[in-house]
Amino acid sequence: MKTLILYESKRGSTQQYAEDIGKLVLADVMPLKKYKWKNLDEYDIIVFGGWVKGNAIQGVDDFLSHYDEIKEKAVIIFANGLSYPTTEGRDGLISGNILDLYHIRFYQLQGKFDFAKLGMIEKILVKSSVNRMQNDDNFTEEHKAQMLSLLTTKIDGYDQNGVNKIVAVINRIISGEAAK
């Protein structure tokens, strides 16, 4: 059983996860934008990883526009964002990206974020969403403070546990212990 891992990454942390998982399960790894959607027959497991921008998993719409071609295979999606993975965060990503319409497995990983290194437009975007949160009663004070700290403290996450979970599920599918 062969695995294909496609990814969309802006600053490299999603690519790093895709390559690390790829090495551990001996998968072919490629940027989504370069993949020609040919030779799909040779793969039984298709993984897509995308970075998160404003709760939208980048590239996932493009990836899922090919769902009909891959729906008989095992499909795994992971999102890589700045948030520490939580059940609420996971639910928000599933509903915000309408993933529940598809038969897929979904994982949430934490990547890297450094406000100081963003371009001007991205800085404005992030700052305005952080400011918006500060006046939103739906967020706890703790969450608001965490978001505010993003403007000054960088996040350098590497979710080894999340990588291990994805690798384990791929290996279980390959060995026949888990259904596609």
Ligand X SMILES: Cc1cc2nc3c(=O)[nH]c(=O)nc-3n(C[C@H](O)[C@H](O)[C@H](O)COP(=O)(O)O)c2cc1C
Distance CA 38, CA 73 (A): 15
Residue selected from 34, 38, 41, 54 as contacting ligand X according to rule CB under 6 A: 54
Position among 43, 80, 159, 173 found at the interface with ligand X (CB under 6 A): 80
d(CA 3, CA 138): 41
The reply on whether position 10 binds ligand X by CB under 6 A is yes
Q: Which one of the spans 53-61, 66-74, 140-148, 166-174 is the region binding ligand X (CB under 6 A)?
A: 53-61
Beta carbon of residue 128, minimum distance to ligand X (angstroms, whole number): 10
The count of C-alpha atoms lying within 13 angstroms of the C-alpha of 131, restricted to the half-sphere facing its C-beta, is 6
Query: Does the protein bind ligand X through residue 13 (CB under 6 A)?
Result: yes
Span interacting with ligand X, options 20-28, 110-118, 159-167, 169-177, rule CB under 6 A: 110-118
Residue of 180, 150, 133 whose CA lies nearest to 81: 150
Given a contact cutoff of 8 angstroms between Cβ atoms, the answer to whether 2 and 27 are in contact is yes
C-alpha closest to that of 163 among 13, 52, 4, 2: 13
- Window 120 to 139, contacts with ligand X (CB under 6 A): 122, 125-126
Handedness of CA 87, 127, 114, 122 (dihedral sign): positive
53 belongs to the binding site for ligand X (CB under 6 A): yes
Of residues 19 and 44, the one with the C-beta less far from ligand X: 19
Q: Which helix (H) or strand (E) holds 65?
A: none
Give min distance, CB of 90 to ligand X, in A: 11
User: Residue 44 Cβ, how far from ligand X at the closest point, in Å?
Assistant: 26
**Residues at the site binding ligand X, with contacts judged by CB under 6 A:** 9-14, 51-55, 80-83, 111-113, 118, 122, 125-126
